[in-house]
């Protein structure tokens, strides 16, 4: 299942904010952001417009160009999408001009290796638990919802529901999201 939607790419390296038609799957997001792991980020300004950013999950742990949204520093390139109550990615609901008003460029910053603790650098086994809807996970993993639900029913994916959000973990789930790991 390959779906293209409008995303807004924020690139602090060259201080650009551009609109692009983006295929929503992990490999294309990794390529655009330039990373191996992503995480979703939301702030009051983004939440007010039903938007969020995908960012490099390890961006703060390496030398990087930064930008700021509200009071939060974001390291490296990010992609803005819209979202709905079910957790499905939608086209960005903000214009480029609206994004420009909430982004401030912070320049290049080197990581102070003396201040990075082993707790920050060493992965936590529980950190692979993801908090998104089943629809979202099926979309980015490129599998049908029914197949993901079967993996949950068969115990291959551990799932706990909290409202519309599912907390998913387990070896098979990690293989879906991180096929090269």
Q: What pTM did the predictor assign? A: 0.65
Same domain, 95 and 148: no
Give the pLDDT confidence of 120-157 residue by residue, as tens digits: 232 333 333 444 455 556 655 666 767 777 777 777 76
- Please enumerate, as own/partner, the contacts of 30-35 that have beta carbons within 8 Å and a separation of 24 or more: 32/77, 32/79, 33/76, 33/77, 33/78, 33/79, 34/76, 34/77, 35/59, 35/76
In total, how many domains does the chain have? Answer: 2
Instruction: Indicate if 87 and 36 belong to the same structural domain.
Output: yes
CATH of the domain at 155: 1.10.1660
Same domain, 135 and 98: no
Q: How confident is the model over 167-181, as a mean pLDDT?
A: 60
Does 129 lie in the same domain as 173?
Answer: yes
Domain carrying residue 29: 4-109
35 compared with 116, residue with greater pLDDT = 35
* SS3 track for 108-176: EECCCCCCCCHHHHCCCHHHHCEEECHHHHHHHHCCCHHHHHHHHHCCCCEEEEECCEEEEECHHHHHH
User: pLDDT at position 124, please?
Assistant: 32
pLDDT attached to residue 49 = 87
Q: Do 71 and 148 have their domain in common?
A: no
Q: Are residues 84 and 141 in the same domain?
A: no
What are the CA-CA distances from residue 141 to residues 27, 50, 99 (Å)?
9, 23, 28
Residue 62 covered by a domain: yes
For residue 100, how far is the Cα from the chain centroid?
20
Q: How far apart are the C-alpha atoms of 45 and 100, rounded to whole Å?
A: 12
Statement to judge: residues 30 and 69 lie in one domain: yes
| Residues ≥6 apart with Cβ < 8 Å to 80 | 7, 8, 9, 10, 46, 51, 52, 53, 92, 94, 99
Question: Long-range pairs for 119-123 at CB < 8 Å and ≥24 separation?
Answer: 120/61, 121/61
- pLDDT tens per residue, range 37-91: 888 888 888 888 888 899 988 887 788 899 999 988 899 999 999 886 666 678 8
């Amino acid at each position: 299942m390959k779906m293209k939607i409008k995303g807004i790419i924020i690139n602090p390296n060259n201080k650009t904010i551009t609109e692009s038609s983006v295929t929503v799957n992990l490999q294309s997001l990794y390529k655009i952001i330039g990373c191996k792991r992503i995480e979703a980020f939301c702030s009051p300004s983004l939440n007010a417009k039903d938007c969020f950013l995908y960012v490099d999950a390890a961006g703060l742990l390496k030398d990087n160009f930064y930008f700021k949204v509200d009071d939060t520093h974001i390291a490296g390139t990010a992609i803005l999408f819209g979202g709905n109550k079910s957790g499905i990615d939608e086209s960005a609901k903000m214009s480029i001009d609206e994004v420009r008003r909430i982004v401030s460029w912070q320049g290049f910053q080197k990581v102070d290796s003396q201040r990075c603790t082993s707790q920050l650098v060493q992965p936590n086994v529980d950190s692979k638990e993801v908090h998104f809807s089943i629809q979202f996970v099926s979309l980015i993993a490129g599998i049908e919802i029914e197949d993901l639900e079967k993996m949950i029913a068969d115990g291959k994916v551990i799932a706990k529901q909290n409202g519309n959000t599912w907390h998913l973990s387990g070896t098979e789930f990690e293989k879906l999201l991180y096929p090269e790991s």
